Chain A
Amino acid sequence: MKEEIIIAGFGGQGVLSMGKILAYSGVMQDMEVSWMPSYGPEMRGGTANVTVILSDESISSPILHEFDTAIILNQQSLDKFESMVRPGGLLIYDGNGITHHPTRKDISIYRVDATVEAARMKSAKTFNMIILGAYLKLHDLVKMENVLKGLKKSLPERHHHLIPLNEKAITRGGEIVKKI
């Protein structure tokens, strides 16, 4: 089993931390993992992306030219990465601010309106966990218990009281994701 994922959006949306939680979840499941950020002068409002690989075998390249799954959180990232999803792969996107929607017919496309839902949950910070929940619903690569363990590992202890809220957001993401 091997899953190559790109998560891309604006800085400040929790792109890197979502990738980190996925990577930690993989570690909890005894998988090999790699997490490669597009580090640089990115900041809140700029673009940010991270490549996460989870695999039962050792991982060769942390840099990829095609992906099994693209998790897309803004228009620029959709324009850039839609074509890089492998045929038969998965594309999940947040509909907020998207004017040119994905058009490919050879991949599964799902939409999750996480920005709207996060506002409804009165916590903008739940946004990336709603997205993660949608992904986990579609792809049971890592078990929920391991995701929670991963969440615990990647959150500083002073934020551990937020874990129940994050869990709720993950569940919600699974409920509201819809196929396009």
Chain B
Amino acid sequence: MRELKLMKGNEAIAEAAVRYGVDGYFGYPITPQSEVMETLMLMKPWETTGMVVLQAESEVASINMLYGGAGSGKRVMTSSSSPGVSLMQEGISYIAGAELPCVIVNVVRGGPGLGTIQPSQSDYFQAVKGGGHGDYKLIVLAPASVQEMADFIGLAFELAFKYRNPAMILSDGVIGQMMEKVEFDEYRKRWTEEELIKNNPWAATGKTPDRERNVITSLHLQAVDQEKLNHKLQAKYREIEKSEVRYETYMCDDAEYLIVAFGSSARISKKSVELARTKGIKVGLLRPITLFPFPYREIDAYSEQIKGILTVEMNAGQMVEDVRLAVSGKVKVEHFGRMGGMVSSPDEVEEALEQKIIGG
């Protein structure tokens, strides 16, 4: 039986983490995602599932606690918002380099700098192009509802462990702060020590006489070795690109125009599609659910059918570059978005479609 609740996206993250059997949450409060840790503290999962919830002294500490926990094969996660996630970038790069699974939630707020506490999607580049140093990729999921905030905790952990790669849930202040109905799975038990060792033979769980020691590191002083690791990482990313693309379409079958949007912008754009359809404009919505891997081919498949694409993002135009890559000049692609914490309204988006794509 799935359990129905009414809650904020941030609260759903916390509830889903406990129910999924996460071993540890390490974080530092920041608006607009503080409800994640607040909810965990209220739930007291250390008394029920044994999950550790810890407020670290900083985001730098949180991400390094993830590094340690993930290295020992535990399911560990953190959440933060933009400035906090910037602080974590060094640790994220190390975790990617050491090929460790973990989940990082970014409830994005307006930037740059300390910015504002209002919703934004201006961390798209940071999330999908590697915010830290070195050639690495995160698996990036973009929830567009409170239900997906809950569901993507499980999905992010599954993908992270499948590929031994950090996964990010790239949300924003709208999805984090809004309340919707959400259904939860039953509580699952955390891995026992035996299950953990069996599932994660690579983890630093204590050397036994029958195997070599497992070394968790991102340091390879010999360039030859480092290149070998890079080839391995790249092969893994190609595999992820081949197998894990997720997206959703709405009214695309007869579409002459396409809106491409993720997260809360996709929700707003869905209404814009409805508005445009009442005016007889044949427009559809394509919502990338995974931002890495990005649905390049799936977008390109519409190139023959459509006359133009509008990307809608709460930023100055970031995902638009990937959409342009996808159609490589075959179709006109323009961007519309508000910035710095301002949220587009459905009529603004519809108007932008008419002005930039249909009229332009």
Contacts and interface: CB of A to CB of B under 8 A. Distances in A.
Interface of A: 20, 23-24, 27, 32-37, 39-41, 59-66, 153
A34 B344 CA distance: 17
Nearest to A28: B6
Contacts of B179: 20, 23, 33-36
B231 interface: no
A62 B174 contact: yes
24 contacts: A20-B179, A23-B6, A27-B6, A32-B181, A34-B179, A34-B180, A36-B174, A36-B178, A37-B178, A39-B117, A41-B117, A60-B267, A60-B268, A60-B271, A60-B274, A61-B267, A61-B269, A61-B270, A61-B271, A61-B272, A61-B346, A63-B267, A63-B268, A63-B345
The 3 lowest CB-CB distance pairs between A and B, nearest first, are A61-B271, A60-B270, A65-B345
Contacts of A153: 6
Interface of B: 4, 6, 31-32, 117-118, 173-174, 177-181, 264, 267-272, 274, 343-348
Contacts of B6: 23-24, 27, 33, 35, 153
A176 to B, nearest CB: 30
A52 B107 CA distance: 22
Given A60-B271, A61-B268, A63-B268, A39 B345 contact: no
A84 B32 CA distance: 27
Contacts of A34: 178-180
Contacts of B274: 60
B160 to A, nearest CB: 29
A37 B178 CA distance: 7
Q: Which of B344, B346, B347 has the most CB of A within 10 A?
A: B346
B178 A35 contact: yes
B36 to A, nearest CB: 14
Contacts of A40: 117-118
Contact of B174 (A20, A23, A63, A65): A63
A40 B6 CA distance: 21
A62 B181 contact: no
A33 B264 CA distance: 16
B208 to A, nearest CB: 51
B180 A39 contact: no
A39 B177 contact: yes
A153 to B, nearest CB: 8
Given A62-B174, A63-B174, 16 more contacts: A27-B6, A27-B181, A32-B181, A33-B181, A34-B178, A34-B180, A36-B177, A37-B177, A39-B32, A39-B117, A40-B118, A60-B268, A61-B267, A63-B268, A65-B347, A153-B6
Contacts of A66: 347
B178 A62 contact: yes
A65 B181 contact: no
